[in-house]
Structure 1
Amino acid sequence: MKKKLLLNWVYYPPVGHAVEALKLAKGYSLANKNLDVYLLLNANTPTELADACSWIKKTYSISTEEVFKDGEKAKCLQKIPKNWDYISSDNRAGRLIKGNDRVELVKTQEVLQKIFVARNSSILPVVHNPKITLSIPTKAKTFAKKFKHRGPTIAIMLGGAKGLRQSPSIEMWLKICLALEQAIPNLKIYFMGITKSDHHRTFTKDFTLDDVNYLIKHLKNAESAYNIGLWNQIALIKKCDIFLSPHTGFAFLAFLVDAPWLEIATCRWPLYFLNDVPFYSVLPKCNSYPSLDDRTKECDRLLREGKRVACVADDLIEKKIPEIVKGAKLLLDKSFTYNKAIKLHLRKIRKDYDVHRFPSFGAKKDENK
């Protein structure tokens, strides 16, 4: 009989955190052949992604609102076994701070840590950074077929959960898209996002359908793919040559369907999730980047005050447009491999940034390939 691992990855709702769990679950599955992996996720994140992962036995949706209100008696906890062979938790769960982090998340993790018990305290082996691929539902693949274009294609998400505070303005997006159109013959652009929250999930904040239509009106060949559903968006991203966006956890999904990511990097977080897929990061000229959890940094202060971070100011983004175009051309070149992308990225951060604030990416391993 297989042993059972409970992976506790109940954290903030943005999709990137769910994707982290999918990759870690695969790492445990590969390293332990006699192990079934069960997953706990925040109910406000796209838990259905785990259904596309054959290496995950079952996923339990945890409502932090329910647990905050009802504690151990929360309905979402009642059908989950309390005893497991092994338990592995997101290490951020132990660093949540009352008065800083959301109270319902802090309370939920306190309850989860209390009620679930592991028979074994030993640390399981894990394969680090395994490549994972999402199995896209047939219905979504069929839907994506209606998006037809013979030529280069770019899917663009204008902003993430923080909206304009960490994204280029719509005026700068137009300049970016016009530059891409001019540099890449026969380019087709798809704008994707969601205009309102679904079951408390994150959405494309501050960028409306009016904004999208404004861009489409001024571009040669662009189309809206807003509000088409998560799996349909993922299927469309898979068909595209590039996914372009500011730093957002949603972009991690592009890697899971082998779509290269062209990242307009902003504070607070650097690119840290990789999946053996080419990428290019347009890094900001900013003394705070990446600010991470450092509350003394200017960018962190601006975000806490509800203001835009300095690195997305129009004048600074406009100066980055030539590099955005350069990154797009590199990613359209099939000879620009993941290993070349890693080497280029490491050269850039070693030249201009504090490398200790970035993930290692397994640099030694990749540079020797």
Structure 2
Amino acid sequence: VEYAPFVEQVFAIPYTSFGTSEGDPRSALRDVPRSWDHVVRHPAANDPFEARFEGLRRYYEASGRHCRARRSVGIAGRPPPPYQPHQRLRLELPEHERARAREALGHRRSIVVMAAGSSSLRALYPSVTSWNLILDELARRLPDVVFAFVGRLQQGGGRTTSGIARSEVDALLASRPDALDLFDRPIVEQLAAVETAALFLSPHTGFGFAAVAVATPWLALAGGDWHETFFNGVPFHSVLPKSREVPAFVQSKPLPMLAADVDGEGPRTATMSVARVREDLAELADRAVALVEGRVVYEEALAAYFPALVEAYAGDVSRIHTFESIHLDYV
């Protein structure tokens, strides 16, 4: 709330189950007031597809019973209550954190990298070999850029951790002598580095939503479970898998896997393999340069993304969902 002027108050709910339910969602809601003027539910709360996940289902059932509306019950992204779409929400970070980030990055153009999202399955994200291919090409195309790595390895505090090992982070840092290691730094410090950066680069991750909330362009190496859904008025690009031999996105169904990728770093999902990274490396580098140089316009990014996403889903528009259903203007 301290950094989000558009939020008046929050209530922490110590329940983080998604698939298998762990803990009691009713007890987790005990500090949340029961009576509200309006109750706005997540669209997933009424989605039979999402109901397959026991942890989510139990939470939505418990919260539906817990929160009582005096005036209306609605769905996020549309009325009721009165709703104005396409607002551009911005986090306001402390100026001293911004100044410290600029100083740490040497006042140079920077790219902040999150090498893996929060899943515990390492195979869902690119290997160290693949990341070095990507970073080498970006360093060649943007020789003045410094890289910074963000994420979380320490357990505890109710926060998720990055699906990568400390030894792998160290290997990436060793290949970039001037790179900045921000792993396990306070989240506001990491966000300040993202805000200072010219680009945020990652596979699909919720932290990308935070990146666009500090107005930093997001370049996503897409493919796996979910496509990108939230853009917040900020230029972006999703590098979608070109191959149609395996699904680009499975939405929590079993992922096509390689038992052993050619780099010798173990199993990998097909959409994050070395072969896939090599196939899409030119596009990734081209769009990185365009985003860093400020040549990508938000509306043009949307207009390019959604037709390509329809193609990635083999023409099935019904599988596309976005915050505020912004995709409906483009498909």
**TM-score category (smaller protein):** 0.7 to 0.9
Match for residue 183 of structure 1?
Answer: 141
Secondary structure of 2:202's counterpart equals strand
Match for residue 245 of structure 1?
Answer: 202
Match for residue 145 of structure 1?
Answer: 102
Structure 2 residue identity aligned to 1:77: R
Contact 1:97/1:106, CA 8 A, preserved across alignment = no
Map 1:1-369 to 2 at 5 A.
50-64=1-15, 74=27, 77-78=30-31, 80-95=32-47, 100-103=52-55, 105-121=56-72, 123-162=80-119, 163-208=121-166, 210-219=167-176, 221-284=178-241, 285-286=243-244, 287-293=246-252, 295=253, 298-299=255-256, 308-355=268-315, 356=317, 357-359=319-321, 362=326
Could you report, residue by residue, the CA deviation over 1:210-253 in whole angstroms, capped at 9, with x for unpaired residues?
A: 32222222235322121111000000100000000001111111
Distance 1:137 1:59, change over 3 A: same
Richer in helix (by share)? 1
Bigger Cα displacement from structure 2, 93-102 vs 124-133: 93-102
Give distance in 2, aligned partners of 1:227 and 1:348.
Answer: 35
Give distance in 1, aligned partners of 2:50 and 2:296.
Answer: 45
Shift of 1:362: 3.4
Distance 1:343 1:65, change over 3 A: closer
Could you report, residue by residue, the CA deviation over 1:42-91 in whole angstroms, capped at 9, with x for unpaired residues?
A: xxxxxxxx33222322111122389976775x37514x432222111113
Structure 1 residue identity aligned to 2:251: L
Contact 1:156/1:192, CA 8 A, preserved across alignment = yes
Distance 1:188 1:309, change over 3 A: same
Secondary structure of 1:61's counterpart equals coil
Give distance in 2, aligned partners of 1:152 and 1:142.
Answer: 14
Contact 1:159/1:205, CA 8 A, preserved across alignment = yes
Give distance in 2, aligned partners of 1:349 and 1:98.
Answer: 21
Could you report, residue by residue, the CA deviation over 1:135-168 in whole angstroms, capped at 9, with x for unpaired residues?
A: 1134422432332335431000100012522211
Secondary structure of 2:286's counterpart equals helix
Contact 1:244/1:263, CA 8 A, preserved across alignment = yes
Give distance in 1, aligned partners of 2:16 and 2:234.
Answer: 36
Distance 1:151 1:51, change over 3 A: closer
Distance 1:100 1:200, change over 3 A: farther
| Number of corresponding residues | 309
Distance 1:255 1:98, change over 3 A: closer
Match for residue 16 of structure 1?
Answer: none
Give distance in 1, aligned partners of 2:3 and 2:25.
Answer: 30
Percent sequence identity over matched residues? 22
